[in-house]
Amino acid sequence: MEGLPPPSPNLIPDNFTNLQLIQIFNLPDLLAWEYPDSMLFAAALLIWQAAGYSHFTATVKREHLVDTVTRDLVCSHIKYVPLDLIVPPLPTTLSAYLASPLVAKTKVNRLGGLLQFWENKVKAVLVLRRLVLDILTTPSLLVDVECAFLGGRMSVNYRQHRTSLLIFRAKMAVGSWFGIPLLPDVAEVLNMVEGKGDLERSLDLD
C-alpha cells in the first residue's frame, strides 16, 4: 500500500502512524503474514480501542493449509486471540481491600485508633478511605446516622428530640458555605445553626 513500509523483522510500532497501522490491519492475510507480531498486535489493538479493552492483551494464531500442488504449508489466515479471560482486569478498590489480610485491633490502637488508621491509608484505597472517613466523622447529634444518610426519618427519635432531617442537613452544610460571599459573617452562621434569623429573606444575588 502507498505509504506503508515493506515488511521487516526490525519494524517498531512506535515508528508507525495510526493510519499506517490501520492499513496493516486491513491487509489480506498473506500480506500481513510478513509483518512481525508486534506490528499485528499494535494494529489490532488500535482498531479495538474501547473502555472495555483497557486491560486487553492479544496473541496471534497463524493458521496453515497444505498446498495441494507443492505440499508446502501456506498461510491460511491469522486469528487475533484475546487473552482477557486468562488475564483478569485490575481489581477494584473495594475488592482489593476485602482480599487484603485482616488488621489486628492492637495494631489499629497502636496507630492511634480507627480514625487515625484510615487517615493514614495509602492512595491505593483512596475512594474507600474517603467513604470510611465520612462515616467516622459524622457529628454525634441527636439524629440517627441512618436518618442522615438514607434520607428517611425515624418518627420516635423525631418526636423525642424535635430535630428534623432538614435542620440536621442545614447544620451539616453550613460549615461548607461559611467564608464565601454569601455567608461572610460568623454571626449569621450562628443564627442559622440556632434556628434564628430571617429564613425568608432574599439572598440578593442580583
- When divided into structural domains, the chain yields a total of 3
What is the predicted pLDDT for the residue at 85? 46
Summarised one tens digit per residue, pLDDT across range 35-63 is 887 787 777 777 665 444 444 455 555 56
Return the pLDDT at 173: 64
Residue 187 domain-assigned?
A: yes
Taking alpha carbons only, the member of 189, 128, 199, 139 closest to residue 168 is 139
Q: Has residue 33 been placed in a domain?
A: yes
36 and 75 in a single domain? The answer is: yes
Task: Answer yes or no: is 105 within a domain.
Answer: yes
Domain, as residue range, for 119: 91-137
**Does residue 106 sit within a domain?**
yes
Q: Are residues 40 and 75 in the same domain?
A: yes
* Same domain, residue pair 133 and 96: yes
Cα–Cα–Cα angle for 90, 92, 94, rounded to 5 degrees: 150
Spatial contact of 108 and 114, defined as CB atoms under 8 Å apart: yes
Question: Which residues share a beta bridge with 62?
Answer: 78
- Residue 50 has φ and ψ, to the nearest 5°, of -170, 160
Low-confidence stretches of the chain (pLDDT beneath 50): 50-56, 84-86, 142, 151-160, 203-206
Instruction: Provide the pLDDT for residue 3.
Output: 75
pTM as predicted: 0.27
The whole-angstrom distance between residue 76's C-alpha and the CA centroid of its chain comes to 41
The per-residue pLDDT for 91 is 60
